[in-house]
Amino acid sequence: MERPLCIAICGLGTVAQGVLELLRNNADIITARAGRPIRVLHIASRSEKAGVDLLGASFSTDLSSVVEDPAVDLVVELIGGEAAADELVRSALVAGKHVITANKAIIATHGDAYLRLAQDAGVAFGFESAVAGGIPIIAALTRGLAANRILSLAGIINGTSNYILTAMSESGQTFAAALHDAKALGYAEADPTFDIEGIDAAHKLTIMASLAFGLGFRFEEVYTEGIDSITSEDIEYARQLGYRIKHLGIARVVPQGVELRVHPTLVPEKQLLASVAGVMNAVMVNADAAGDTIYYGAGAGAGPTASAVVADLIDIGKGTARAWLPAPIEDSGLKVVPMGDIRSAYYLNIPSLDKSGVFARVATVLSEHQISIEAVIQKEQAVQLKADEAWVPIVILTHEVSEGAMNRAIVALEDSEDVIGPIKLIRVEHFDDD
């Protein structure tokens, strides 16, 4: 048996406690699989937590002392946040320690720098836990599909958003009511901005796209739209058209470069992603040899995230992690496609006057912009505006068109007298032309 892998865990929140619990409960199999014991030398956190078994580790509130201990082989960063976590990861790598982090925000922003530091120091950098919790999606992208050119990926990668959309879909709840429940159940944070506005999903998409396409970590170039504008009416219209609304992170190689986008999306109800309910995550990968594969599981929580952290520990303990470390990308040459240049099908919800000829004029405007209609829902119950005026939503599903053309058509429609308010646009994915 080799000498133990000596680690320091920074942070003592839910995930860190999950890691300690897993290291304790499954010590036998973890040691056997790593080929050596994993010994927790230090735990560093702002404050100690009563009742947490520290596995004999020393406790400190001083992060830097932990990193400086020459007996530490590996630092697990679980303090969260950005500035302090970033500093911790960099200083640990520079000090020649292996690093494992579950911090998607700092990887999505500084991942290239971390890979360079790890390469220079000859250490491993593990981040399986940063994307989709217990699903080994980083390993699938880098190892399982290593023989493939990955063409696209699409994922339900934010449990909070998926919980809310599922609740709205299953019980007809409003967004606000579903968000309220999600908070009560612990599925949404007190300040849910990162989840609801798609930022968390954009972090995860950045990491997956970087690995899938050798793109580098380009978080700031991800188009990001959250779920807060989705209404239960949209969900119901989508259902009538044979679709579910899911919040997807999509990355795709196209002739002009790569698309990187996070937004609500109509998904055909027969597509497996449409059936992913509640807080669960799933990622679909389209690769040239393997075709479509899907990876499904819990995207958050102490157990699933700890499962990924400890898988990285075993990989590093075994000595195999470094060989699989992605090379840092200086410039992939790939351009991120501006949203105006992407092509998509669209769901439009057009609030229109309830008068004869309106639909024909709407269809004419779309046609003038080379947009053809796939399906229509019309003549729901009219809502009275004034004594002699009423409005109805015209719901249209279009065929694929460039987003630029779609935006121009929307401006033209919103300028017309027939349309009485802003038009709702939701992108549609068929996944059949990958």
**282 or 392: whose CB is closer to a second copy?**
282
- Shortest separation between residue 131's beta carbon and a second copy, angstroms: 12
Query: Considering only 113-121, 171-179, 313-321, 389-397, which stretch makes contact with a second copy by CB under 8 A?
Result: 313-321
Catalytic residue among 97, 204, 246, 424: 204
Kindly tell me the burial class for residue 11, based on how many C-beta atoms sit within 10 Å of its own C-beta (0-12, 13-18, 19 or more).
buried
- Shortest separation between residue 61's beta carbon and a second copy, angstroms: 28
Residue 29: Cβ within 10 Å count: 10
If binding is defined by CB under 8 A, does position 74 make contact with a second copy? Answer: no
Residue 348: Cβ within 10 Å count: 23
Site for a second copy in 134-153 (CB under 8 A): 134-136, 139-140, 143-149
Among 94, 272, 383, 411, binds a second copy (CB under 8 A): 272
- Shortest separation between residue 404's beta carbon and a second copy, angstroms: 33
Query: Considering only 106-114, 218-226, 272-280, 400-408, which stretch makes contact with a second copy by CB under 8 A?
Result: 272-280
- Shortest separation between residue 291's beta carbon and a second copy, angstroms: 5
**222 or 251: whose CB is closer to a second copy?**
251
If binding is defined by CB under 8 A, does position 75 make contact with a second copy? Answer: no
**156 or 425: whose CB is closer to a second copy?**
156
Among 237, 296, 346, 359, binds a second copy (CB under 8 A): 296
Binding mask 10-29 for a second copy (x = CB under 8 A): --------x---x--xx--x
Please say if 246 is a catalytic residue.
Answer: no
- Shortest separation between residue 133's beta carbon and a second copy, angstroms: 8
Site for a second copy in 314-373 (CB under 8 A): 314-315, 318-320, 323-324
Query: What is the distance between the alpha carbons of residues 28 and 383, in angstroms, rounded to a whole number?
Result: 66
- Shortest separation between residue 167's beta carbon and a second copy, angstroms: 15
If binding is defined by CB under 8 A, does position 249 make contact with a second copy? Answer: no
Site for a second copy in 34-53 (CB under 8 A): 35
If binding is defined by CB under 8 A, does position 289 make contact with a second copy? Answer: yes
Of the candidates 137, 128, 141, 89, which has an alpha carbon nearest to the alpha carbon of residue 309?
Answer: 128
Catalytic residue list: 204
Q: Which residues bind a second copy (CB under 8 A)?
A: 18, 22, 25-26, 29-30, 33, 35, 128, 133-136, 139-140, 143-149, 270, 272, 275-277, 282, 287-298, 301, 303-304, 306-311, 313-315, 318-320, 323-324
